[in-house]
Structure 1
C-alpha cells in the first residue's frame, strides 16, 4: 500500500507521463485501437492507455511460478511480468483516476501450455478485483488468446476471464457469453500491403467474415495487418472493430480526427467557363485583376476542386506557372513578406508590410500605377489592416503595428477598399475613419451603394471586427465585393488595378480544418469567376490568380469523387515553402508561364502595362 504522500507524488508523475503521451487533440472514434505486442513499447501499458487503446496485448510465458511478459523464453527479462507491466499499472490508473478509465481489454497471449498458464493467470489476478468490481461496466477484462483451453472449457473460468476466438469454420453452439471477440490473420484474406486500395475480391472476403461475426453480436480483429494510415482507415471504414497496430500514438492521432479531416461539400457551386477569345493574345492590357488566395497551394486548390464536383472556374485556365515564395530573411515566408513581394517586387523580411529590409518604404503597384492615370482598389475577407492587403498601401516594418498600418490607408492613392475590421480604425486614439473621409473616401453603407457611387474614392467596412468564415454566414461576400468593385472601377473610364484576397483559406490551414480550407477555396473561386466574366466582357483585362504561400503542408491521401468527399492530411499548422501555382487569363497571359520568384509577378505586371508607364 502507498501512503497518501506517495499516492500524490505517484499521481503527479504518472499524470506528467500521460500529458506527454496524449495527443493535443483527441476526439472520439468508431474503430478501437489494439496495441499489438504492447510490451515491446518504451512505456508498456501507459503509452497504449494514454492513446486510448481499447485492447492491449501482452505475450505471456509461464516459467517456474512467474508469468513473464515476452515473446519467447530467450527474450525474458527479469522483473517484466504480467503483474509489474500491466496489472499494477492498471490498478494505479484506476485508483488514481488517471486517463479516461474507458473499458479496456488486456489480451493475454499465452505462449506456454494453456491450462497451467491460465490457472496461474487466474491466481495472479485475484488481488486486482477493483479493476472489474463493476461487472456491468468493468474497467478491465482479461481476454485469453494464443494457447487456449478447449472451447467447451471456456465457461469453467470465472469473471473477468474471456476468450479470443480464432475460427469461423464452426460457429454453432459456441459459448458466446465467454467469447469477447473474434480474431483472424489478415493474410488468410488478402496480401494487401497497406498501400493503394484493397482489390474487390479481398473486400468481398473481408465483408463476409465481418458480417458473420457481427451477426453473432461480437467484435472482430485482424492480426498481421499492414500497419499504415491507409490500412487503419480502410479497415476502420470496413467495420473492423479493433485496429491492430504497433504504433498506438500515431494510430490514435490519425483515426481520432479522421472525421474532421474527411470533408464532404454540402452544395455544389456553379463554375464559369471562360470563352478564351482573348486569352494569350499579344493585344493591349488596360486592366489587371490580381487575386491572391492566402495559403492556397496546389493541395488546397485540388481539395476545393474535388469538393465542388471535380471542377472549379480556376481549373479551366490554360496559362499556368509556379512561383517561389522565400522571404529575404527566411526560407519560409509569412503573408507580410509574400504580400509585399507581390505588391512591390521586393524581397523583404518576414513581418514587414511594404517596408524594405532597411525600413524604408517599398513603392507598391497602386502607388506606381496611380501616377500613370490608373484607378486602383483592394478587396479582402481579412481585416483591412491584415498583412496581405496592407502590403498594397502601407509601409511598416512590423505587421502588428495595426494602428500605424490603419493610418497609412488615408495616405494611399487607392480609389477603393473593401474589407473587415473597422475597429482597427477606431479603437486607437485617432479615429482613422475621419482621416479617410478627409482624404476623399466616401464610406458607403453597402456594396450596392459602392458599386453605384460617383465618388472618386470609396470604401466599405464589411464588419466591425473580423468577418465570419463562409460556413458561419459569409456566403457570397467575396464574389459580390469583387463584382461591385469592378462595376465601380469600370465606371471611371480609366485603366485600373484591383487586388482581391481570399484570406481564410490560410486560416483553415493554420487550424488544420478541412471544411474551412475547402469551403473558403470554393468561395474564392466564385470571386475568380466574376473576374474572368468581366475579362471576357471587357477584352482588355488580364486576370492573375496566385497565392502568397502554402499553409498546412496539406496532402490528399483519399477521397471519393462521386460524393465529393476529400480527406486532407496536415503536416504543420504553419506556412510551408512549397512553390504555389499562378494562373493567368486574358491578353499576354502566356507571360506568366514558367517557374520564377514571387517578385517577378510585380515585374511582369509592369511589363504588361508598360505602354502606360512610359
Structure 2
C-alpha cells in the first residue's frame, strides 16, 4: 500500500468518525433560529441545521395567526399553520423528528390574551406533536413576546410553555417556563469583535449563572452574530445561541470540538548560539527540512500550543516561497517536492521529471558528483511524494512499484520512513543494491555500512502522531550516520502529517505533527551550532487547508484552527534558514530557487569528483 493509499484509507475512516461525532454534537440544543421566517426557507433551513430552537413572530390579523414582524409585511398565505405547524407534522410523518428535537418559539406581536385565545384551538389540531410529560419526545411550544402575567401561566394547556424575561426570583411557576431570554445590550456593548470587556463579561456570566441556578436554559437576543461571539457564548454556557444564520452557526459549533485542541505536553526548545548564522563559512553539510503543508497558520498554532515558543521561531533569516506547479496554481506534494529537489517546475503528480516526462536530476544525484552523501527521513512512507522526489523519476506519484524500483538504483546513502510492506518483494533487492536494512533507529546511527535503510514499524495514524520522539530520533540517527562518513552530506527531513491534519481538518493531527517537526528542527539546530559549516533550511512544499487561527490560549496551550478547505492552497509558505550563508535565503522567490541557491553554494566550495 503506497503512501497515497494509506492516507486515503485513514482519511475515509476519520471522515466517518467525524460525521458521527459532528451529528451527535448537532443534536444538542445550541442554536436559536431568530426571526426564522425571514430566511429563504422558513422552518426547513433551521430544522436541517439542527437548530434547537426556532422562532416565528405571530400577528393576530382578522382572526388569523399570521407569521410576520409587523402588519405591513403580512403575506396572505403565511399563516402559522402553513409555514410552521404543517411542516412540523410533515417532518413527523417522514420520521425526521426521531433524530432531532427542538422547541418552537411563538413570539406574539399582538395582544397576548386575544392571540392565545386563537392560538390554543389551532395548536389543539396538532396536539400529538407537542411535548408534555406523557409525550416527552414531542416538540415544545414556547410563548414569547407579549405574554400573559406570570401568575396566569398555569391556566394554559400542559403543552404550552413560556419564555420568561424577568429577573430570576423565587416562587416562579418553573414547570411552565421553558427558557429565560434577555436583551444582551442590557449587559454588554460587545459587538463580537475582539473580546468582551471583563466587567461586562462578568455581568453576562452572572445572569447566566442565575438562570442556570433555576435549572433553566438561557438565551440572549440582540447579541452579536458571528464566530467569535458563538465561541464566547458557548464557553460561557449560553444554552440557545441567538443567530440569523443557523446553518453557519451550527456548522461552526459542530466543528468546534475537533477544531480546538490542547496539547498534553509542551517541549523545551533549543536556543541557538547564532555564531555561524549567516557567516561565509564553507558549506559542507546541507539539511533541508520540509513541513508538508506547513504554512504560517500551522506554525502559529504550534507556537501558541507550545507556550509561545518554538525552535523554528528562533531562526532569523526568513523568506517567502511561491509554490505553484507548472500546470496549476495549486501544487501537489509531487510537483512541490520535485521543484525543491530538482529546481524545475513540473506538472502535478510528476516526480523528478519535466512536464514532458523527461528525467531531470535531483539533489542527491547532482550532489553525488561533488562527493556528497545523501539521505532522506520522513514520517510518511519512503515512497511518498515528497521523499521520493529526492530519488525517483516517474510521471505519476501512484506508480508505487516503479518508485520503489527507483530506490534500488539511486544515489541515496540513507533512508528512514514507513512503508516496509510496499517493499516486501524488493527487500532482498534493496540489500543487494547496498542498503543495510537495520531493525532500529539506534542501529542506523551506529551503522558502519556504506548505505543504510530503516523502515519504521507500521502503526495507525494516532499512534504515529503520538510517537512524538520518532522524527527527532530519526533525524538524530541520520545525522550520526552521515557525519561518520567523513564527507559532505545532504539530508532531507519531512514532517508529513502536518499536511494530513490539513486534509482531515484535524487540529490535533496538525498541531501534534507541527510540534513533532519542531523537535526535529531543534535537533538540527544543535547540530549546526556544533558543526558551523552546516546550512539548515526549513520550508514547506505548500500550505494545506487555508487554515486560520481565530483563537488560542497560550497559557493553556490550547488553539482553535478554522479550516477553509480540505485541500492544498496556493498561498506562499515561509522559509527559515540557519547557519552558513543562511542570509542568502531571505526574500520572496519561486520554490525552484531553493535548489538553485543550494547548488550555487556547492559550486562555490566544491569541485566535481
Per the TM superposition, whether the score is higher than 0.5 is yes
Secondary structure in structure 1 of the residue aligned to 2:549: coil
Instruction: Tell me if 1:536 matches 2:529.
Output: yes
Q: 1:116 aligns with which of 114, 123, 131?
A: 114
CA distance in 1: counterparts of 2:375 and 2:187, whole angstroms: 63
Q: 1:28 aligns with which of 20, 25, 30?
A: 25
- Measured on the aligned residues, the alpha-carbon RMSD in Å equals 1.7
Task: Look up the match of 2:556.
Answer: 563
Contact 1:49 1:99 in 2 (8 A): no
Larger mean Cα displacement after TM superposition, 45-54 or 98-107: 98-107
CA distance in 2: counterparts of 1:404 and 1:293, whole angstroms: 25
Secondary structure in structure 1 of the residue aligned to 2:529: helix
Q: CA deviation at 1:424?
A: 1.6
Task: Look up the match of 2:394.
Answer: 396
Task: Look up the match of 1:18.
Answer: none
Q: CA deviation at 1:101?
A: 3.9
Contact 1:539 1:586 in 2 (8 A): yes
* 1:450–1:302 CA distance, 2 compared to 1 (3 A): same
Secondary structure in structure 2 of the residue aligned to 1:483: helix
CA distance in 1: counterparts of 2:52 and 2:83, whole angstroms: 17
Aligned pairs, how many?
587
Task: Look up the match of 1:553.
Answer: 546
CA distance in 2: counterparts of 1:471 and 1:194, whole angstroms: 39
Task: Look up the match of 1:572.
Answer: 565
Larger mean Cα displacement after TM superposition, 505-514 or 148-157: 148-157
Q: Residue deviations 1:586-612, cap 9 Å, x none?
A: 010000111110000001111222221
Secondary structure in structure 2 of the residue aligned to 1:418: strand
CA distance in 1: counterparts of 2:98 and 2:565, whole angstroms: 27
Task: Look up the match of 1:378.
Answer: 376
Contact 1:294 1:506 in 2 (8 A): yes
Task: Look up the match of 2:155.
Answer: 156
Task: Look up the match of 1:144.
Answer: 143
Secondary structure in structure 2 of the residue aligned to 1:332: coil
Q: CA deviation at 1:379?
A: 0.6
Contact 1:27 1:257 in 2 (8 A): no
CA distance in 2: counterparts of 1:375 and 1:100, whole angstroms: 65
Contact 2:466 2:512 in 1 (8 A): no
Instruction: Tell me if 1:447 matches 2:417.
Output: no
CA distance in 2: counterparts of 1:201 and 1:31, whole angstroms: 28
TM-score, structure 2 as length reference: 0.94
CA distance in 2: counterparts of 1:425 and 1:283, whole angstroms: 40
Q: 1:459 aligns with which of 453, 456, 481?
A: 453
Task: Look up the match of 1:507.
Answer: 500
Q: CA deviation at 1:561?
A: 1.2
Task: Look up the match of 2:429.
Answer: 435
CA distance in 2: counterparts of 1:91 and 1:467, whole angstroms: 46
Q: CA deviation at 1:24?
A: 11
TM-score, structure 1 as length reference: 0.93
Task: Look up the match of 1:197.
Answer: 195
CA distance in 1: counterparts of 2:518 and 2:365, whole angstroms: 28
* 1:135–1:31 CA distance, 2 compared to 1 (3 A): closer
Q: Residue deviations 1:524-552, cap 9 Å, x none?
A: 01111111111111111111101101101
Task: Look up the match of 2:248.
Answer: 250
CA distance in 1: counterparts of 2:156 and 2:20, whole angstroms: 38
Q: CA deviation at 1:31?
A: 6.2
Contact 1:307 1:564 in 2 (8 A): yes
Output aligned runs, 1:120-269, within 5 Å. 120-132=118-130, 135=133, 137-168=136-167, 171-269=169-267
CA distance in 1: counterparts of 2:86 and 2:133, whole angstroms: 20
Long gaps (5+) in structure 1: 1-21
Instruction: Tell me if 1:298 matches 2:274.
Output: no
CA distance in 2: counterparts of 1:105 and 1:134, whole angstroms: 12
Long gaps (5+) in structure 2: 1-18
